Every structure is written in C-alpha cells, then in structure tokens.
C-alpha cells in the first residue's frame, strides 16, 4: 500500500497513535519511519536530524535512537530473556559487564527481574511483549515505535502492556508512536491520533478534541448516531458533547424542569480516554424555550451542535 502525502508531527514526550484498518498503509508507514523502506519523496526527521538524508554507517547509528516493538514479539527462541534484551547492546559493542548492568535495569523496569534465565517458550504472550519492550529500550532510544504490539494479546494482557507503555511515557518522557487498528488502544493511552485510510491521512489532532467534535471521524466512530431517524415536525435535534465532571450532571432533567421542554434521547454514550471522561448525547427537543435551553447548555461549557 503506497502512502499519499502523509504528514504529521509527534511532539516530544507524547504518545501518538496512528489508527487504521487492514490495508490502510500502517505497516508501510512504520517501515518508512525507520527507513526499512525508503520513501520516494518527502522527509523524516527525528528531533533535528533528517534521517532520510542518511546512508550506511550514519543511518545505522541513527536507527539506534529508534526502538521498535512488534505484534509477534520477534524474540530469538534460542536465547534467554536476558540474552534477548542484551542482543542490541552486543551489536553496538557494549562490554559484558555493561550489558549485564543494563539488562538488569530493564528487566526490573518491565517487571521481569525474576525471569532473566527463562526462554521465550516458557513465557506468556504478555511476558514476551515485556521482553520485546525491554529490548527496544536497551539503547536508550529517543522514540519507541509500536507496531500493533497488543493485537495478539488477550484484553487483560493488552491493558497491562498499555499501562506499562503509559508508565514509561510518564516516568521517562519517552516519545511513543503507536500503530494500531484498535480504537480501545487509542482511548487508553494516546494523547494525539492520526486516522489513516487507503494510504491517506484523513484526520489528526488531540484525541480529546476530536472526540468532542460531533462531525469528526473519531467521534462518529465512538458515538454512532441512528441513521434511519427523521426528526418530528417542529422538533430540534441537538448533539451535546461534555467532559469531566459534566458527565455526572443531571443535564436533561434540568432542561425539562427549567425550560418546559420534552426531551427524547436518540443516542448517547460515555467513554474514558485515559484519565478523561467524555460523553455525547443526541436528543430531540420539542416545545418550551428551546433557544434559552441551548444557551444554558453552552454557558455550562458544553459543546452543542444543532440540527434543525
């Protein structure tokens, strides 16, 4: 799958998700970012360095700044956990004592300090991915690339791996570019997201901001509205987006009581985005003081979209 004018910036210290279904171009994108495939046009920058301008030894050295974790772990089955984590350090010429010290730090960091002598066949899927994460961090990279790193795991294990990545981001300031087809992954840990379809970037921005925009692709996926519904004569259809403490407010009962309005709920949902709660309601308003009710909602700080 070719990429067509894909451009985005991953802020340092954030988790940036690239969301797309099979065939969207996600694998091509991540292979271009680490230059396993060289793009035919455009450029890729890591901090101040344009890595598309590098070749040979200079490129190999720059790749050491990019850690990578994979869907199917890519561990060496004949090596122990410790030796798998140490492998990139061997390639870089670290001494045996330096490798041992760094491996010990990393296994403790990912919660595997008691499994150093185990082999991959003796590990669960989640443990294998923790080994993969430790290996990816061995050379202290500036950026961690995650290529569908949780799609082969069960939901509970997925959650534990995402929590680990979020902790690494928070404690180390690690920049993470995360490729996924799973909306739940984006909801759990991503600060920003770009949506990829057929090689094109169709939407990007902060997850919370896109989710709060009723007309965004992200919001339409998270909060689907009934397609067959037609408003009754004289009714006003309103989409209300709300965050934080507003998700617990009795908004609809206040409208009914204070503005003499009949309210018909068409659709609604509340989603969690990391530590942020965000909800959306689509309601039909009939009779009473509709304009005053809409002004009231806006003064509460809610986002209101009116479809008459």
Domain extent for 151:
15-206
- Looking at residue 157, its pLDDT comes to 95
Residues 173 and 294 in one domain: no
Task: State the CATH number of the domain containing residue 300.
Answer: 3.30.70.260
Which residues of the chain fall below pLDDT 70?
A: 1, 226-229, 231, 244-248, 308
Q: Domain check: are 128 and 199 in the same one?
A: yes
Report the pLDDT value the prediction gives residue 203, as an integer from 0 to 100: 95
Same domain, 70 and 179: yes
The whole model's pTM is what?
0.85
What DSSP letter does each residue of the chain carry, written as one string? Answer: ----S------TT-EEEEE--TTSSHHHHHHHHTTSS--SSS--EETTEEGGG--HHHHHHHHTTEEEE-TT----TTS-HHHHHHHHHHHTT--HHHHHHHHHHHHHHTT-TT-TT--GGGS-HHHHHHHHHHHHHTT--SEEEEESTTTTS-HHHHHHHHHHHHHHHHHH--EEEEEES-HHHHHHH-SEEEEEETTEEEEEEEHHHHHT-TTSHHHHHHS---TT--PPTT-EEEEEEEEGGGGGS-HHHHHHHHH--EEEEEEEEEEEETTEEEEEEEEEEESS-HHHHHHHHHHTT-EEEEE-
Tell me what pLDDT residue 48 has.
83
In a shared domain, residues 104 and 233: no
pLDDT value of residue 248: 67
Number of domains, the chain = 2
- The pLDDT, as a whole number, for residue 181 is 92
């Amino acid at each position: 799958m070719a990429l067509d004018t894909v451009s985005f910036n991953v802020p340092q210290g954030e988790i940036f998700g690239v969301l797309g279904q099979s065939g969207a171009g996600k694998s091509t994108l991540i292979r271009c970012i680490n230059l396993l495939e060289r793009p035919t046009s455009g450029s890729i920058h890591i901090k101040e360095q344009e890595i598309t301008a590098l070749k040979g030894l200079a490129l190999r050295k720059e790749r050491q700044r990019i850690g990578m974790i994979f869907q199917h772990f890519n561990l060496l089955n004949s090596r122990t956990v410790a030796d798998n984590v140490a492998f990139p350090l061997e390639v870089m010429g670290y001494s045996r004592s330096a490798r041992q010290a760094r491996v010990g730090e990393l296994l403790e960091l990912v919660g595997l300090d008691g499994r150093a002598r185990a082999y991959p066949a003796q590990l669960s899927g989640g443990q294998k991915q923790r080994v993969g994460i430790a290996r990816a961090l061995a050379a202290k990279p500036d950026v961690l690339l995650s290529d569908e790193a949780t799609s082969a795991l069960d939901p509970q294990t997925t959650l534990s791996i995402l929590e680990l990545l979020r902790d690494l981001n928070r404690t180390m300031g690690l920049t993470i570019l995360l490729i996924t087809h799973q909306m739940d992954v984006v909801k759990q840990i991503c600060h920003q997201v770009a949506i990829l379809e057929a090689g094109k970037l169709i939407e990007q921005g902060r997850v919370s901001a896109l989710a709060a925009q009723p007309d965004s692709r992200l919001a339409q996926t998270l909060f689907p509205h009934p397609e067959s519904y037609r408003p009754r004569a004289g009714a006003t259809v309103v989409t209300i987006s709300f965050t934080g403490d507003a998700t617990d407010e009795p908004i609809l009962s206040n409208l009914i009581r204070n503005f003499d309005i009949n309210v018909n709920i068409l659709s609604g949902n509340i989603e969690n985005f990391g530590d942020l709660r965000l909800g959306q309601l689509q309601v039909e308003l009939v009779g009473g003081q509709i304009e005053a009710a809409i002004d009231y909602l806006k003064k509460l700080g809610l986002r209101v979209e009116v479809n008459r």
